Amino acid sequence: MPKLSVIVPFCNVRPYAPDTVRSLRANARPDFEFILVDDHSEDGTPAILERAAEELSDVAQVRLVRHDRNRGIASARNTGLDAARGEYLAFLDGDDWLAPGYLPGLVAAVEGLGCDFVRTDHVRVTGRARSVQRVPVGLRDEVLDPRDAILPADRTTAVDYVYVWAGAYHRRLLERGLLHFTEGLRTAEDRPWAWRLHREAESFAVVGPPGVFYRRGVASSLTRIGDARRLDFIHAFDQIVAETAADRDAGRLLPKAVRQYCAIMAHHLAEEDAFEPAVAGRLRAMCAAALGRLPQDLLAEVLETMDVGRSARLRRLRRRAGTGKGAA
């Protein structure tokens, strides 16, 4: 069994894939497994991956898997999870890269602590600018209860840190069904994943230093595209609310889920001009319907505690939902 399996989905990232591959080589060990998943790229990415699979096989175990159609990052990661054989699992996106020696250090940290998973800070790269983004957990190198790290509801917490690739996960989480992503979500697939992990896993820790370099502003990123795929955050948060409402600690955890949902809705509504006109209309209608589906007493409490601008925007849509004009 490999010590670590690293799942790396690629889709039309030809300008960036060579950096990703070079960083894998700088982190390779004979007992590491790199699973390269080509999600039906249509640029020069497949040729890069063919060469990478051959060259990396000198320093690590490598598996190249191809999708016969584009299925999205959730499916690509699931394909990698199904193929993975490692005791530990990690992720990397095909347009990001790792600092040399990061993965061996990460494995040493999670083994030494003996917990279900670890999270790390990361470096955000926007053009030439770089900044360290920290896990919103104060204690470092100490085993914690991931359920406790969901709260408090009115602050940014570990469950808001949805960067799948900023950490490592023990195989027992995979065997318990906690690491797969919801199929069909083309964006926000990391949100239900993070909530399930924090509700169901038993232990985690935050370790350092940061070693993942996350490229922002990539033209092909869904955060830069104003089409209907971005609306999948509605389905993602409907799933979070439903699963959290059924949790044994629903009374404690559901306010956080509703508040997070409202914050993300308000964020997208504030940027609706970036969407195609027809999609912007769907965004407003779907958000109105979503507000109508939430527990109304809890929603009222959340809106009272939000800032005036976001609260007013959501209140207007809430009134629209009350008139029955929302669309699911």
Helical ranges in the chain per DSSP H: 17-25, 45-56, 73-83, 102-113, 171-175, 190-200, 232-245, 250-270, 277-293, 296-305, 308-322
Q: Which two tokens stand for residue 136?
A: 């919103």
Q: Is the pLDDT of residue 321 over 80?
A: no
Q: What is the mean pLDDT of the chain?
A: 94
Distance, first Cα to last Cα, the chain = 45
Q: Is the pLDDT of residue 269 over 70?
A: yes
pLDDT value at residue 318 = 83
List the chain domain ranges: 4-220, 225-322
* Band (326; pLDDT cuts 50, 70, 90): very low
Provide the percentage of residues in the chain whose pLDDT is more than 90.
92
CATH architecture of 4-220: Alpha-Beta Complex (3.90)
Other Cβ atoms closer than 10 A to 100: 12
Per DSSP, the chain holds a count of helices (H) and strands (E) of: 11, 11
Q: Residue 156: which of 256, 253, 237, 269 has the closest Cα? A: 256
pLDDT value at residue 323 = 55
Could you say which DSSP state residue 148 is in?
G
* Band (234; pLDDT cuts 50, 70, 90): very high
Q: Residue 193: which of 77, 109, 63, 272 has the closest Cα? A: 77
pLDDT value at residue 227 = 82
Other Cβ atoms closer than 10 A to 234: 22
- Encode pLDDT of 77-115 as tens digits: 999 999 999 999 999 999 999 999 999 999 999 999 999
